[in-house]
Every structure is written in structure tokens, then in C-alpha cells.
Amino acid sequence: MDQNKLIITIDGPAGVGKTTMARKLAKHLSVAYLDTGAMFRGVAWKLGQDAWLKDEQSLADELKKMSFTLRGQGERSEMCLNSVPLGPEIRTETIGLWASNIAKLKVVRDFLKKAQQEIGQQTSLVAEGRDMGTVVFPHARYKFFLDASPEVRAKRRYLQLKDMGQEADIEAILKQIKRRDDQDRNRAIAPLRPADDAIVIDTSELSLEDVLACLLQHLKPAIV
């Protein structure tokens, strides 16, 4: 990996605010922002419901038809699947659950890991997901792991969905968050966990501004 490239990883469970934080940080540092959840969501959305039950060869054949590119920088970074920007269609809780289902599969993880590392070779970035610090960018200069209780995360997700004009039921969201936590933390390949050298931040009691200030404090040596 090119040592001049600044790679910052932010991992954590669903609804913890990684996306918002990674976007803000990328804007602040004028680097690209890599939303790897969007890549898993994009694959899940393209493949459809229950795709994770298909055999490995047919999934591999489907994946061969997909390519990801990252356009732009900072807040305007845009993940494209086959040159088409991924939009609000992938942001539903249902697609989140489909994404978590296919994220268990080696064929999918290997495909996306390669795509993510290729993007990381081209540009400095803030990479956000579940296994950025542990598996995809183990040599990243800075690694963060954001955490918060499932209840706090459900409330944040609820407000986010409302904000996007989507119907939302907080109890259903809490249930889905717990289900996804369980799947993401307990899968055999690249489970959600902090890297040994990650800075772990519990954001339950912190505002977005507090979390950003905390990250920037740790990043001071890279910024000045």
C-alpha cells in the first residue's frame, strides 16, 4: 500500500452514526469517503431477496457482472454500481437485512474486499464499515470503532428514516438492529469487532459534534 495515502477506518454496528461521521470527517480532511455498507447493500439490492441461499457458482457469476467506482470527494463522494450512483433505494431496513445476509458469504466478502482495496490504492480516504480496520485495511494509519447501545442506535435510525420521509416503527427497528448485530458479530468471516489497535468510542451519550471533536483530537498529528 502507498504509504503517502491517508487511510482512516471507522467500524461499528448498525445505526451507530458511522456514515454521518465518516462523511463529516472526509469533508473536513478533503479526502474521499468509502461507504462499504453501500457496497454490500448495492449487491444485495441487485441480487434480490434470498440471494444468500443461492449456490456459490451462480453468485460468483452474478458478481462478475458488477463493478464499483467511487466518484468525488468529501461529502459528495458517490458510490456507483456499474456506473450508476447508489441512492435511497438501498437505504431501507429490509435491504440492510439482505445485505447482512449476503455479508456472511465468502464469495461476496472476497469480491468486495478486492474492490475496496483497489479503491484504497487510488486515493486517501475515510473507510467505513464492519471489517475495515481488521481485514480490509489492516495497515490503516488511524482506526476507530464507534459503539452505542442498541436502544440509542434504534432511536437514531428512527429519526434518520423519518428525516428521509420513510415510515418507521421504533420497536421494529430495535428488533432488526439486534438481529443484524447478532449476525454481523457472530459470522465466521470478518465478524464485526474492533481491531486490536483501534480507538474505541462509546457514542451513547455523545452528540455528533462531540464525536467529531473526539476523532479530530486523535487525528491531530495527521492534520497539522
In the complex, which residues of this chain contact ligand DC (CB under 6 A)? 14, 36-37, 40-41, 96, 99-100, 103, 129-131, 180, 184
Half-sphere exposure at residue 109, Cβ-oriented, CA atoms within 13 angstroms: 18
CA quadruple 141, 26, 13, 41: dihedral sign: negative
**Least distance (Å) between residue 50 CB and ligand DC:** 16
**Least distance (Å) between residue 38 CB and ligand DC:** 6
Q: What is the DSSP letter of 88?
A: G
Helices (H), 30-132: 36-47, 56-64, 93-102, 106-122
Q: Which residue number, 100 or 203, has a Cβ lying nearer to ligand DC?
A: 100
Grid cell locating 224: 497539522
Q: Which amino acid is at 173?
A: I
CB under 8 Å to 151, separation ≥6 — which residues? 174
Q: Which residue number, 37 or 150, has a Cβ lying nearer to ligand DC?
A: 37
User: Residue 169 is inside which H or E element, if any?
Assistant: none
Q: Which residue number, 129 or 150, has a Cβ lying nearer to ligand DC?
A: 129
Grid cell locating 63: 458478481
**Least distance (Å) between residue 136 CB and ligand DC:** 7
Q: Which residue number, 96 or 120, has a Cβ lying nearer to ligand DC?
A: 96
Cα(156)–Cα(160) distance, integer angstroms: 6
Q: Which residue number, 31 or 112, has a Cβ lying nearer to ligand DC?
A: 112
**Least distance (Å) between residue 100 CB and ligand DC:** 4
Q: Which amino acid is at 165?
A: G
Q: Which residue number, 151 or 224, has a Cβ lying nearer to ligand DC?
A: 151
User: Residue 153 is inside which H or E element, if any?
Assistant: helix 150-163
**Least distance (Å) between residue 59 CB and ligand DC:** 15
**Least distance (Å) between residue 221 CB and ligand DC:** 26
Question: What CA–CA distances, in Å, run from 221 to 51, 127, 194, 218?
Answer: 44, 19, 22, 8
